[in-house]
Structure 1
Amino acid sequence: MSGPDPDRFQRALDRFRANLSPSMINEFSNCTLRDVRDFCDNIQRTQGREGKLRYMGRLKAFIEAMEEFGKVIEVYLNATTILCFVWGPMKFLLGIAKTYVDSFDKLLDVYAEVGRAIPGFLHYQAAFEKHPPLATVLEDYYSDILAFHQAALSVFKRSAWKHIFHSTWKTFNTKFGPILHSLSKRRELLESEKSSAALLGIERLRQDFSDACKKHARQIAQVADERHRQRVSHICERLMPPNYQIDQEMSTEDRQGQNSGMWIFQDPSFRAWFSNDNDIVRHGVLYVNGIPGAGKTTLMSAVVARLLDCVRPKENASVVAYFYFKQKQPDKESHNGLLRAILAQLIDRDPTIADHLNEKTSSIEGTNLRATGTLEKLVKTALENFQITYIVLDGLDECAPNEAEKSVRWFLSLINGGLQETGVALRVLFCGQRDGTLDTLLADQPSISLEKSGHVKDILQYCRDFCRKIREKFDISLEMENDIIQRVTNEAQGMFLYARVVLENLLNQTQLYRLRQEMEPGTFPQGIDKAYERVAVRIFQQSSEAEQEDAKRMLGWITCARRLLRWREIQSLFCIDPVEGVVDYEGRRLRVTMTRGYA
């Protein structure tokens, strides 16, 4: 081992740069110690004229320590390219924090703490030269300084940082504590090894110190995470958001194959809406529309899944939220229900927002907290703290009267100047039937019509995949299989639901003879109503008496229910005898299943 490894410095720097925008990387790349000194002098002159002088001598220990660090490491690598990402963030942070006295003082204090934790490196230069393995500790110091700046940047890069500074600084302290602990431990290592005659175990000692610091950081993070979970739970108890996760889960289960819906991610309109270039912060709207039964909800589940995979919340840069409107479900057919679900997701994604809104709403009574006006203000506050927010709204045609218009108009008002903070972008994807209202409100916005897109190819592929099951069951010819595919695809006219109902009915026939009958010109269904009619014929004319009786009971429950029923709920209704007051799961449950969780 011959001393510090330049590759390790570079890997640490690469991790730091990964959280920066291209413009910030460019800005930091050209910064020097002279730039920082000149900038500090300008701040003091300005504060002096305004009578707001702060003691900037608190920066001295940090600046001197990093200046000595540069002189020591230049023996091993190009110090300029390494230190510019120390001086650049420092200048940026001071420039932002100077506008707010409380934040400026707190920033100066933490620089003073870091400076006190770092030793004078020139004091150890002779030891580094005599014992090169000892110099590897410099790699650890550099990583810690970058981690410190990354934590500080997460506070001051927020567009609305002044409004929630108290909460953001609490989050920063959670990260800063372990970093300061790590710096102190590294100083202990350096001082103990300088006086030690045996340096052969330096790598093991570094690893032990590193492991101990990581363990300490994990413990702090676990405590913070538990505190966040409790805070979110407390807010949601009062907020009472509708269960938005279950709709995503069930819609995902309904997707026809892993590749279903993938075409939308190549659509130019979607790509323009999704573009997440950190240097191009702009709002965006996309209107996805289609006929009833086209499979819009299933397609949106694919979009939500992709966004959740691609948009990882880091340093409050971006976040994803979604909502599925559901007809005749009180919590899921109103603008108010939407706001509660979106707010719940935003506070869950960001501990700082959760802390800020928890303090802000602690004195608001639950009913008032759930008032639409209050919710709109809270959601707006949360949105102003993310650089890019992606929101997917499905089923707007299923809203109660006038509720869809409320939601669309409110989001458009935010996009058209309602968000006060600059540097934030709101991207909203509206999805629903063309019902006249949405078409009028979103007439000037980019749109994707499912009937004129790759959606039709999805239906064709679904028919091909499904018809393989029919061929295997009935041993039909390739010609008959192709005939089924062609007729179902043509008749579907962009309606996924039609293809599914018809093909499942064909597969559930009990004889090849009956399958052929279903394909006869006078019998083969034209339109979704006729498709359901053929299913009813199979159930009520071709099934056993017991199957018909069970089907009638199920249809009665489904028809009278105020919301969609889960399959397990239907099973429980069969198992419970309210007259006798008994439950017999094994004896009464249906010995059939369903492909979906809802009926």
Structure 2
Amino acid sequence: MDSKELLNIVNAFLEKVPKPSDKDLFEVTTYEDVREYISSIQSIRESTRNMINMKRIQPFLTGMEQFEKVLVALQCGHVAKIMACIWGPLRFLLEVTNMTDREMDNLLDVYEKLGNKLPLLYEHVGLFAAIPDTATCLVQIYQDVMTFHQLAYQLLSLRPALLQKIYKPTWKALVASTDHLLSALGRHEKFLSSSGFPVHDPEAPLYLDAHSSTGNFSPGSVGDEERTKAHLHEYLYTLKRFRGAFEDGEEQRKERAKKSVLLWISASKKTDSLHKKFQDTRICPDTGRWLFKRYSEVSEWMKEDQPPESAIWLQGSRGFGKTILTSLLIDELGELRTEKKKFTIPQESKIYYFYCQEEDSEHRTYLDILRGILHQMVESDEELLPLCVDKAESSGNPSLADTETAQFLIEAFIEYNSRQYVIIDGIDECETGEARKAASFFMDQVKKCENEIKQGRLRLLFMSQPSPDLARAKIMPGEDACVQLKGTDNAEDIRSYVKKRILDFSAAGATRSGFNLSESDKDQIESSICRRSEEMFLYAHLAIEYLLQQPTKEKLKEKMKEEMAPKELSQIYEKLLGIVQAELLNLTEGQAHWNMAKRLLGWLVCAKRPLKWHEMQSILSYDPDQQKVDFDNKMLRQDASKYLGSLVHVLEGGHMRIVHSTARSYIIHNRYINAQAVHCELAVLCLRYLCLVSESKDYVDEERKEKAKLGWFSFQDYACSQWHSHISTVIEMCGDLFCGINYSQYHRDMFGAALQEFMSKHDADLAKERHRDFMTQMPPELTRFEGLFFYQDLRDLWNHIYTHQKGTYDIRNTVGITRIDEAMIGNRNVLEDFTPNMEAYHLDTIEDYYGPNLYKCKRLLCKFFYVGYDRKDDREAHNSRHDRPYQCPVHCNSAPLGFLNKKDRDRHVRSYHPDLSDGPSMFEALRPRNGSRSFKCSLCDKQFTRKITQLGHERSHFGEKPYKCSMCDKAFARLSDCNRHQKQVHANRAAR
């Protein structure tokens, strides 16, 4: 028999064994070694009265012993090496699982099942000798056994701390694979049993040589050789299909599981589109590459096996282009692990990143960062998927809502992978408390890896502006690992960028030659912008955008003359907004266009959560006076850039992004937009629109369906969930608008009328009793409005909102107005009958009006109330895990979904509301148990809480040491001492 196929399986297995000591074991172990080791296990367990049914492994031992003898009989080469890969892993798995009864028991169960399915190969040796092709059945059997060993070794060879975390869900996930292998072994047995050959005498020697007579095994005496070969062909064909179907099914199952876990993690969907946007900004191939040449801290952090610093902090000034550098770092690391770069870093290296964004509610908290990193971990590693599935299912929560669970899973991934890079850009854009939590957690993981595993296993990089708060907290990388980027570093990048963008001035527009600039004109633009930019890449970008929007060459040259170009960012923002204004005012009905642009920008920066483009379109399409929505005639048909210029980008998925965090501050405080007025208008919009939603409760089915199709309910997700926040903002911020220095009768009357209409329609659903907090007096912010005609309505509405927000979790998860709640549910039910690509009106689709996700969560405090799902099954799975029995006693928004058990709720109370906690301090010293010590030593008065501890103690009286090390002659009175010795002494030696 040719051993080539068997050796291929052996080599494939050994290639995946990372530890040299394990590989050595798998190349030399024999059947006798295994039997001897099993005997030692039994002896120790017998002497400690901790027996386990080791007989379960006997069928497997017998079957594989026969397998080895058949290989010898068939004169197969390299039998010792082939079988060492059976006996070695078997011994290893027994040794590892012997530490815990549960793991040993599970392993023995599998070996018993495998052994019972192994064919009695000695019965079929004649078949293998007479028709050599049938020996491929032996290869198939060997492949199945080695597949199990591969799966088991991959799990049980992990570090003990990690194995303890993932063992239960991962072993459970292996059941499908082991069942498949058992079925495959059954197919091998069926083929051999139906081959038509006589059964070999089990007592006869299994020895064949060139002089042996094979007449007794002649196929002609019992059947037709051709029929047997045809049977063999059919067996191999069906076996291949069987395995292929299982692999396809497993792949589909894992994809479903991964999708479910990613939905549960519910990370921002904008990370990829942000990275793509930053990649596209790097229009020059050498942009940022100085970072790897000038700063050895960065290149060593990327490439060295053991870098001087595993965590570094890169700092640059505002507008420097740090985020562009971050995107370059991420892409460069991806390149370094490819053949193109000669695998400068290990091919299996993982790269995780997150872009913090001050203005994005999904990119600025500690939990946002954890979710983003964990999402990428799950995407790149399926090995820990069972653990993630288990955590998602046991959380009882439709989405990942607590940092403890996220931290636990991230720690598991970090422990599992041999090298990983974590890059967090703009951590200073998070609130200080959130930034400190993120920095502290990831820095702790770096220290843990360096202390327990290996320096450089986890590499962490922060990119931000200098942050005195974070530096003072002593949680960021130290001074030696802090890299201050110099103002001159990016000078050539800025110049190259400007040179490249100057080509845009020659792009065909109204004329074929663009601005028709001479070389001296181009040199002047380049020189002026580069000189003014200093170290601000952002300035160069915005200055180019500003100049490109000049209408004529004359105007362009005028702006470049006599230092007329803007010098500061605020001036550039002013100019860019001024250009939008000028262009729109030049259009027919230009003032209306400009007013619309101001409204769009105002909504964008004053909304309570990021608005999507279709939501802004729905506001434009809504006529509050006529109480109707007209997408077809009122939605913008031009690109958003016409009205928002270069200040705002629309990312994939309709997400709106302001060009830079500095732009928002300018937009709010510039002379064109009155933030108080915008807040008032948004409150009015919500009140008016909710009246439209309320009226829809009385629609007949056909009318509701028709209006839903035309986009009438496109804004209801925002209005239903944010209306009370906008009323709160009006009370807190708009007093001057109604009766102060910024008095506007227009806004006062508009708000008053909307408020009166809302109250008249919904008075029956409002709280009638004044909340106990308002029994003596109303809040001072509210009393400012006492002299206004709508004060009583505002007071009553605020009392209702306050009462609603102080209610239980279930109450706060509703709109708070029964009629609106019922109408919203009815409207959503109709929308779920549509599909995104369905025609809404002529060529407009449902997705144009509502976005791609039509299946929404019904709970207002959940982000999936407005994000939604594109499949009903995903939404139902989300809802099925939503109800949690233990709620925060003060109904805080840090835990909107509650807790699965009292322990988690109490921990939350101790962390966030310590004054309400009846439990001990989180840092209270551990105390001895007060329970009775029922296990007393029969030789002295000492008592113990565990029987096994008492037995170990009694053995020490007599000097008994039944636990003998399997690697040396040392013996111990307690099993735990023996295990500790083996791990600390022999494992460490093997590692060295």
The verdict on a shared fold, with TM-score over 0.5 as the criterion, is yes
2:144–2:184 CA contact under 8 A, matched in 1? yes
2:211 is aligned with 1:183: no
What is the alpha-carbon distance in structure 2 between the residues aligned to residue 460 and residue 483 of structure 1?
12
Residue matched to 1:397: 428
Q: How does 1:196-275 map to 2 (within 5 A)?
A: 197-198=225-226, 199-201=228-230, 202-219=232-249, 222-223=252-253, 226=256, 229-230=259-260, 236=264, 243-255=267-279, 256=281, 263=289, 269-270=297-298, 272-273=300-301
2:182 is aligned with 1:171: no
Name the stretch that deviates more: 485-494 or 127-136: 485-494
Distance 1:15-1:331 versus aligned 2 partners, 3 A rule: same
Q: CA deviation at 1:318?
A: 7.8
Residue matched to 2:59: 61
Question: 501, 504, 528: which one pairs with 1:466?
Answer: 501
Question: 472, 481, 489: which one pairs with 1:446?
Answer: 481
Name the stretch that deviates more: 339-348 or 33-42: 339-348
Alpha-carbon deviations, 1:64-117, whole Å to 9, x = none? 433444455574543344444333332322221110011111112212222222
Question: 430, 433, 439: which one pairs with 1:408?
Answer: 439
Q: How does 1:319-330 map to 2 (within 5 A)?
A: 322-327=353-358, 329=360
What is the alpha-carbon distance in structure 1 between the residues aligned to residue 174 and residue 636 of structure 2?
55
2:370–2:406 CA contact under 8 A, matched in 1? yes
Q: CA deviation at 1:58?
A: 3.0
Q: CA deviation at 1:397?
A: 0.9
Q: How does 1:463-542 map to 2 (within 5 A)?
A: 463-472=498-507, 473-478=514-519, 480-481=521-522, 484-485=525-526, 487-489=528-530, 491-541=532-582
Q: CA deviation at 1:175?
A: 2.2
Distance 1:477-1:261 versus aligned 2 partners, 3 A rule: closer
Name the stretch that deviates more: 300-309 or 46-55: 300-309
What is the alpha-carbon distance in structure 2 between the residues aligned to residue 49 and residue 282 of structure 1?
51
Tell me the secondary structure at the aligned position of residue 317 of structure 2. Answer: coil
Distance 1:115-1:298 versus aligned 2 partners, 3 A rule: farther
What is the alpha-carbon distance in structure 1 between the residues aligned to residue 111 and residue 304 of structure 2?
33
What is the alpha-carbon distance in structure 1 between the residues aligned to residue 172 and residue 309 of structure 2?
30
1:460–1:485 CA contact under 8 A, matched in 2? yes
Q: CA deviation at 1:476?
A: 3.1
**Mind listing any 5+ residue stretches in structure 2 that lack a counterpart?**
198-222, 339-347, 508-513, 642-648, 652-656, 659-992
The residue type paired with residue 592 of structure 1 is: D
1:336–1:372 CA contact under 8 A, matched in 2? yes
1:232–1:347 CA contact under 8 A, matched in 2? yes
Structure in which a larger fraction of residues adopt helix: 1
Residue matched to 1:428: 460
Tell me the secondary structure at the aligned position of residue 194 of structure 2. Answer: helix
Q: How does 1:44-443 map to 2 (within 5 A)?
A: 44-73=42-71, 75-159=75-159, 160-193=162-195, 195=197, 197-198=225-226, 199-201=228-230, 202-219=232-249, 222-223=252-253, 226=256, 229-230=259-260, 236=264, 243-255=267-279, 256=281, 263=289, 269-270=297-298, 272-273=300-301, 284-301=310-327, 322-327=353-358, 329=360, 332-339=363-370, 350-358=384-392, 361-362=395-396, 370=401, 380=411, 390-417=421-448, 426-440=458-472, 441-443=476-478
What is the alpha-carbon distance in structure 2 between the residues aligned to residue 281 and residue 169 of structure 1?
36
**Mind listing any 5+ residue stretches in structure 1 that lack a counterpart?**
none
2:432–2:470 CA contact under 8 A, matched in 1? no
Q: CA deviation at 1:468?
A: 2.6
Alpha-carbon deviations, 1:387-419, whole Å to 9, x = none? 656543332111123321232123333443499
Q: CA deviation at 1:206?
A: 0.6
Question: 556, 573, 591: which one pairs with 2:638?
Answer: 591
Alpha-carbon deviations, 1:518-545, whole Å to 9, x = none? 3335123434334334323423345525
What is the alpha-carbon distance in structure 2 between the residues aligned to residue 185 and residue 306 of structure 1?
49
Name the stretch that deviates more: 400-409 or 193-202: 193-202
2:267–2:371 CA contact under 8 A, matched in 1? no
Residue matched to 1:553: 599
Query: May I ask how many residue pairs the two structures share in their alignment?
Result: 581
Alpha-carbon deviations, 1:26-73, whole Å to 9, x = none? 445533215434433443343333332333333333334334444555
The residue type paired with residue 272 of structure 2 is: Q
Q: CA deviation at 1:170?
A: 0.7
2:627 is aligned with 1:577: no
Distance 1:231-1:498 versus aligned 2 partners, 3 A rule: closer
What is the alpha-carbon distance in structure 1 between the residues aligned to residue 96 and residue 303 of structure 2?
27
What is the alpha-carbon distance in structure 2 between the residues aligned to residue 93 and residue 283 of structure 1?
37
2:487–2:534 CA contact under 8 A, matched in 1? no
TM-score by length of 2: 0.51
Distance 1:359-1:200 versus aligned 2 partners, 3 A rule: closer
Distance 1:90-1:554 versus aligned 2 partners, 3 A rule: same
What is the alpha-carbon distance in structure 2 between the residues aligned to residue 29 and residue 478 of structure 1?
72
Q: CA deviation at 1:211?
A: 0.7
Distance 1:356-1:147 versus aligned 2 partners, 3 A rule: same
Tell me the secondary structure at the aligned position of residue 269 of structure 2. Answer: helix
Distance 1:140-1:375 versus aligned 2 partners, 3 A rule: closer
1:242–1:331 CA contact under 8 A, matched in 2? no
Residue matched to 2:28: 31
2:318–2:465 CA contact under 8 A, matched in 1? yes
Name the stretch that deviates more: 177-186 or 529-538: 529-538
Tell me the secondary structure at the aligned position of residue 99 of structure 1. Answer: coil
1:161–1:385 CA contact under 8 A, matched in 2? no
1:450–1:494 CA contact under 8 A, matched in 2? no
1:325–1:394 CA contact under 8 A, matched in 2? yes
Q: CA deviation at 1:585?
A: 3.9
Distance 1:335-1:503 versus aligned 2 partners, 3 A rule: same
The residue type paired with residue 40 of structure 1 is: I
The residue type paired with residue 353 of structure 1 is: L
2:495–2:526 CA contact under 8 A, matched in 1? yes
Q: CA deviation at 1:137?
A: 2.8
What is the alpha-carbon distance in structure 1 between the residues aligned to residue 519 and residue 70 of structure 2?
77
What is the CA RMSD across the aligned residues, in angstroms?
4.2
What is the alpha-carbon distance in structure 2 between the residues aligned to residue 386 and residue 357 of structure 1?
19
Q: CA deviation at 1:182?
A: 1.9
Distance 1:584-1:115 versus aligned 2 partners, 3 A rule: same
What is the alpha-carbon distance in structure 1 between the residues aligned to residue 80 and residue 114 of structure 2?
21
What is the alpha-carbon distance in structure 2 between the residues aligned to residue 22 and residue 460 of structure 1?
51
What is the alpha-carbon distance in structure 2 between the residues aligned to residue 334 and residue 408 of structure 1?
12
Structure with greater contact order relative to length (CA < 8 Å, sep ≥ 6) = 1
Q: CA deviation at 1:288?
A: 3.2
The residue type paired with residue 560 of structure 1 is: C
What is the alpha-carbon distance in structure 1 between the residues aligned to residue 425 and residue 387 of structure 2?
25
Distance 1:211-1:299 versus aligned 2 partners, 3 A rule: farther
